[in-house]
């Protein structure tokens, strides 16, 4: 990982650059006590942008109801040493989700945002974990109590694609 005082191009997300197959697990309903999950496949391809100070992740999600395209846009702020991550979903092509902001410690990145779900304020957490050069995980969790408790509602298991 990059040294905190280093002003050179960040390397935190270098582990996810490339092409991946993805196993998704998504909670059917959020913050209502639901314990039913839907599992589906996907593909992901991530490339550097902004001269290495950002990256763009292009996703294909094979939901049971049909294919969905989505993108994650990430940018690094060297002054605050933090990343911002935005999610753009093809089902709502004019809306960027509120950015989650955070940083890495070792091989785990933690990112947070304040947002709304069904008109109620929530906190959002993304956790990125580098498992190896060929495997990574991502999870999303929501909190309705200011971050005291978290409900994980979506996980992704990334496996590097073989060319």
**Residues 85-96: tens digit of each pLDDT:** 999 999 999 999
Q: 69 in a domain, yes or no?
A: yes
Residues of the domain holding 21: 17-28+38-160
d(CA 134, CA 157): 11
**127 is a domain residue:** yes
Q: Residue 5: inside a domain, yes or no?
A: no
Residue 93 in domain: yes
For residue range 18-70, list pLDDT tens digits in order.
Answer: 999 999 999 999 999 999 999 999 999 999 999 999 999 999 999 999 999 99
Residue 20, SS3? Answer: strand
> Residue 116: which CATH number?
2.40.128.20
**Contact between 38 and 29 (Cβ < 8 Å):** no
Q: Assess if residue 8 is contained within a domain.
A: no
- Does any domain span residue 1? no
Number of structural domains in the chain: 1
Q: Per the domain annotation, does 12 fall within a domain?
A: no
User: What element of type H or E holds 89?
Assistant: strand 82-89
Q: pTM, whole model, 2 decimals?
A: 0.92
Residue at 106 is within a domain: yes
């Amino acid at each position: 990982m990059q040294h905190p005082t280093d002003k050179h191009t960040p390397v935190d997300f270098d582990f996810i650059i490339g092409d991946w197959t993805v196993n998704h697990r998504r909670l059917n309903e959020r913050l209502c006590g639901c314990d039913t999950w839907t599992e589906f496949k996907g593909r992901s391809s991530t490339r550097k942008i902004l001269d290495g100070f950002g990256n763009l992740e292009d996703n294909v999600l094979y939901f049971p109801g049909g294919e969905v395209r989505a993108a994650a846009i990430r940018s690094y702020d060297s002054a605050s040493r933090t990343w911002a991550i935005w999610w753009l979903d093809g089902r709502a092509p004019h809306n960027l989700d509120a950015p989650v902001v955070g940083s890495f410690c070792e091989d785990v990145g933690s990112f947070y945002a304040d947002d709304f779900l069904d008109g109620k304020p929530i906190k959002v957490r993304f956790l990125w974990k580098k498992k190896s050069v060929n495997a990574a995980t991502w999870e999303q969790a929501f909190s309705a109590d200011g971050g005291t408790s978290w409900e994980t509602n979506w996980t992704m298991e990334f496996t590097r694609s073989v060319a």
